Amino acid sequence: MISLHRGRYAASAATGDAPVAQAQALRALCFGKDADADTFDALCTHILIHEVATDRLVACFRMLPLTGPEISRSYSAQYYELSGLASFEGKMVEMGRFCVHPDCHDPDVLRVAWGAMTAYVDREGVEMLFGCSSFAGTETEEYLDAFAVLKARHLAPKRWLPRVKAPDVFRFAAKLRRKPDLKKAMLRMPPLLKTYLLMGGWVSDHAVVDRQMNTLHVFTGVEIGAIPPARKKLLRSVAG
């Protein structure tokens, strides 16, 4: 069972229906929906991060363990053609529905969340972490520099590259012909995606336009064995 206490925050795995309902309520708030629950919730381990002093829920995410041949059962497989990853031989986990309370701006929350994820990955022997990384809104214009950086530096290896499945996508790798403004790109890059990239993560060559969630998202993968040693040491120091 995941349980991690660092500074002002504690991360723990949900046990029972009430904590999962708490996570669903936070997700609904963050995603601007009346409710946020789906069939994947019953299959996942839910991690909740609370502020210790107030017991306020400040962040949550869920994890779905899979193997390569089970990749079509993932949430991401609704939006991406992932048959390339079916040949991945190690354990995998899909990280999804990550959100932080809109009133919480403390970077330590993200640090504790990744500490909990690292503890899970180490305990379960996970070799691939993946999910959908979202940009707010469905308009591409303000994110063109970020997408140009993804094209130039962070596209998935060909053997794992997700193919187009969703009906509405932005094929940034094929369409963009611009030298990115790195400062602007990093300002517009979502924090979760930045963390993936710092770990050596890679992305799909297109973004899905998800109007139901009001986001643009890219498939993102991290091969645990490829995480830079210094970054891995830092994550494990938090996971403790």
pLDDT of res. 223 = 96
Q: What is the pLDDT of residues 83-107, one digit of tens each?
A: 999 999 999 999 999 999 999 999 9
Can you tell me the distance from the alpha carbon of 134 to that of 32, in angstroms, rounded to the nearest whole number?
14
Q: What is the pLDDT of residues 182-198, one digit of tens each?
A: 999 999 999 999 999 99
Please state, as a whole number, how many other Cβ atoms lie within 10 Å of the Cβ of residue 237.
Answer: 11
Q: Give me the residue spans of the domains in the chain.
A: 63-105+113-239
Q: What is the pLDDT of residues 1-56, one digit of tens each?
A: 677 888 899 999 999 999 999 999 999 999 999 999 999 999 999 999 999 999 99
Q: Tell me the two tokens of residue 100.
A: 């932080």
Q: What is the pLDDT of residues 100-128, one digit of tens each?
A: 999 999 999 999 999 999 999 999 999 99
C-alpha angle 186-143-205 in degrees, rounded to nearest 5? 95
pLDDT of res. 135 = 97
CA 79 → CA 28, 83, 152, 206, distances in Å?
21, 12, 23, 11
pLDDT of res. 238 = 82
